Amino acid sequence: MIIDFHAHLIRDMITKQYDVEDCLNDMEKNHINKRVISTLEGKSTRDQNDFIASLVDQYPDRFIGCAAINPKEDDCVEEVKRLTTIPQIKILEFDPWEHGFLPERYSYHLDQIFEIAQEHGFIIKMFAGWGPRTMPEQWTRYCLKFPDLTFVVLHIGGIDFGYGAIDFIEEMPNVMTETSDQTEIQVLHKAFKKLPIQKMLFGSNYPKNFTKCSIDTFDCLHLSKEDQAYMFYKNAEALFKK
């Protein structure tokens, strides 16, 4: 069994249609049982998140809803409040590279958002790995202030911050990490050596990355069957049961 914790839908710029068929075909071809899905493309944040909710409604056994939130937007807190009434959404995703924000600068909005998220049991995903807006440590104050929230550092800190991200994830009891797009083998070896396997979540980063490559990456690590089970699905299952 495989639960893919990180994937996006792409949207045709001309037709304005999301390519759901390709996503489902990719899941079938690569034996992905369920996929956490979000999109960063659309008419508005609300429209994007509504489409994700409708997709989960259509395919409840295949998709888990993740809403993208931009804390620079004036109505971002209201959007999160609205999402508490939409049961298809389980995760909130923050991408400071895509949306161009410094996490520490937008504490006025983020503190309110995380209060709501903690109360309603949302999981938090944070993009990491490309430049000075995307250091995992920039989220430290929030991880400490909201100990009952689970924060997930995407890409094991990515290309720029992989080594330091592992130390950060190890130190924070409420922080986990997701594996996609981490192509440096030394970082992967360090992550699986230092971090409890219960902190690891498999992700594909579809469609940017080939799902098969994201799965096959772990062949060189020679993980035990038990560790593979935790990474590929058990840890995600445990999160969604909280």
> pLDDT tens across 23-75, in order?
999 999 999 999 999 999 999 999 999 999 999 999 999 999 999 999 999 99
Q: Give the Cα separation of 50 and 154 in Å (integer).
A: 23
pLDDT value of residue 91: 99
Give pLDDT tens digits for 19-29.
999 999 999 99
Tell me how far apart the alpha carbons of residues 159 and 147 are, in angstroms, rounded to a whole number: 27
129 has pLDDT over 90: no
Instruction: Return the DSSP state at 166.
Output: H
CA–CA gap between residue 155 and residue 159 (Å, rounded): 8
Q: What is the pLDDT of residue 172?
A: 97
More confident residue, 97 or 77: 77
Burial of 28 (0-12, 13-18, 19+ CB in 10 A): exposed
pLDDT band at 156 (very low <50, low <70, confident <90, very high): very high
User: Average pLDDT in the 8-21 region?
Assistant: 96
Segment 2-26 mean pLDDT: 97
The answer to whether the CB of 35 falls within 8 A of the CB of 6 is no
pLDDT at 161: 82
pLDDT score, position 159: 78
pLDDT band at 113 (very low <50, low <70, confident <90, very high): very high
Tally helices (H) and strands (E) across the chain: 11, 8
187-211 pLDDT per residue, tens: 999 999 999 999 999 999 999 999 9
Q: How far apart are CA 32 and CA 1, in angstroms?
A: 7
Report yes or no: 90 and 240 within 8 Å, Cβ to Cβ.
yes
Domains of the chain, with CATH numbers? Answer: 3-241 (3.20.20.140)
Mean pLDDT of 121-134: 91
Predicted confidence band of residue 183 (pLDDT cuts 50, 70, 90): confident
Q: How far is CA 190 from the centre of its chain?
A: 21
Tell me, what's the pLDDT at 220? 86
Rounded to two decimals, the pTM is 0.95
Please tell me whether residue 14 adopts helix, strand or coil conformation: coil
Mean pLDDT of the chain: 95
